[in-house]
Structure 1
Amino acid sequence: MKYRNALPQLAGKKMITDGGLETTLVFLEGIDLPLFAAFKALETDAGLKAMDTYMKGFAKLAVAQGRGFIMDTPTWRASARWAAELGMTQDDLREVHREAIATLDNLRRAYETPECPFVINGIMGPQDDGYSPGTKLTADQAADYHKQQPAWFAEFGADMITAMTLTYSDEAIGITRAAKDAGMPVVISFTVETDGRLPSGESLAEAIAAVDRATKDYPAYYMINCAHPEHFSHILNGDWTQRIMGLRTNASRLSHAELDEAETLDDGNPEELGLLHAGLADLLPNLTVLGGCCGTDHRHVEQMCRATQIA
Structure 2
Amino acid sequence: MVGRRFAFPPSDDAIFLTDGGLETTLVFHEGLDLPCFAAFPLLSSEDGRGRLERYFEPYLRTAVERDVGFILDTPTWRANADWGAKLDISPDEVAEVNREAVRWADSLRDRLSDERDRVLINGVVGPRGDGYRADARMTAKEAEAYHAPQLQAFREAGADMASALTLNYAEEAIGIARAASSLGLPVVISFTLETDGRLAAGETLRSAIEQTDWETGHAPAYYMINCAHPTHFEGVLSESGAWSRRIRGLRANASTKSHAELDDSTELDSGDPVDLGRRYRALRQRMTQLSVLGGCCGTDHRHIAAICEACIPPSG
Structure 2 residue 252 is the aligned partner of structure 1 residue 252: no
State the distance in 2 between where 1:245 and 1:115 align: 22
Matches within 5 A, 1:173-184: 173-184=174-185
1:14 touches 1:68 (CA, 8 Å); kept in 2?
yes
- In structure 1, the gaps of 5 or more residues are none
Give the 3-state SS of the residue equivalent to 2:228 in structure 1.
Answer: coil
1:8 touches 1:117 (CA, 8 Å); kept in 2?
no
Structure 2 residue 307 is the aligned partner of structure 1 residue 304: yes
- Which residue in the other structure is 1:18 paired with? 19
CA drift of 1:309 comes to 2.2
Q: Which moved more, 1:57-66 or 1:247-256?
A: 57-66
Cα gap change, 1:203 to 1:96, in 2 (>3 Å):
same
2:12 touches 2:289 (CA, 8 Å); kept in 1?
no
Cα gap change, 1:2 to 1:135, in 2 (>3 Å):
farther
Cα gap change, 1:117 to 1:212, in 2 (>3 Å):
same
- Which residue in the other structure is 1:264 paired with? 267
CA drift of 1:43 comes to 3.3
State the distance in 2 between where 1:280 and 1:98 align: 36
Q: Which moved more, 1:286-295 or 1:26-35?
A: 26-35
- Which residue in the other structure is 1:152 paired with? 153
State the distance in 1 between where 2:176 and 2:98 align: 17
State the distance in 2 between where 1:48 and 1:304 align: 27
State the distance in 2 between where 1:258 and 1:231 align: 14
Matches within 5 A, 1:171-210: 171-210=172-211
Matches within 5 A, 1:14-163: 14-114=15-115, 117-163=118-164
Superposition TM-score, scaled by structure 1 size? 0.95
- Which residue in the other structure is 1:228 paired with? 229
**Residue identity opposite 1:40 in structure 2:** P
Give the 3-state SS of the residue equivalent to 2:10 in structure 1.
Answer: helix
Give the 3-state SS of the residue equivalent to 1:146 in structure 2.
Answer: helix
Residues 215-243 of structure 1: CA deviation (Å, up to 9, x unaligned): 01110000000000100001112112110
- In structure 2, the gaps of 5 or more residues are none
Residues 104-132 of structure 1: CA deviation (Å, up to 9, x unaligned): 11222233345970000000011110001
**Residue identity opposite 2:209 in structure 1:** I
State the distance in 1 between where 2:184 and 2:158 align: 12
State the distance in 2 between where 1:106 and 1:9 align: 23
Q: Which moved more, 1:133-142 or 1:10-19?
A: 10-19
1:2 touches 1:159 (CA, 8 Å); kept in 2?
no
CA drift of 1:285 comes to 2.3
CA RMSD of aligned residues (A): 1.9
| Percentage of identical aligned residues | 50
Q: Which moved more, 1:105-114 or 1:141-150?
A: 105-114
Residues 160-198 of structure 1: CA deviation (Å, up to 9, x unaligned): 010000000011000101111111011000000001111
CA drift of 1:101 comes to 1.1
**Residue identity opposite 2:215 in structure 1:** A
State the distance in 2 between where 1:185 and 1:174 align: 14
Residues 71-122 of structure 1: CA deviation (Å, up to 9, x unaligned): 0001111011111111111232122112211121122223334597000000
**Residue identity opposite 1:109 in structure 2:** D
State the distance in 2 between where 1:133 and 1:282 align: 32
Give the 3-state SS of the residue equivalent to 1:291 in structure 2.
Answer: strand
- Which residue in the other structure is 2:294 paired with? 291
Q: Which moved more, 1:48-57 or 1:226-235?
A: 48-57
Cα gap change, 1:17 to 1:231, in 2 (>3 Å):
same
State the distance in 1 between where 2:266 and 2:257 align: 13
Cα gap change, 1:187 to 1:210, in 2 (>3 Å):
same
CA drift of 1:8 comes to 5.6
2:12 touches 2:290 (CA, 8 Å); kept in 1?
no
CA drift of 1:2 comes to 8.2
State the distance in 2 between where 1:234 and 1:83 align: 37
CA drift of 1:210 comes to 0.3
State the distance in 2 between where 1:70 and 1:292 align: 12
CA drift of 1:47 comes to 2.7
CA drift of 1:249 comes to 0.3
Give the 3-state SS of the residue equivalent to 2:267 in structure 1.
Answer: coil
**Residue identity opposite 1:234 in structure 2:** G
- Which residue in the other structure is 2:276 paired with? 273
**Residue identity opposite 2:198 in structure 1:** R
State the distance in 1 between where 2:89 and 2:296 align: 26
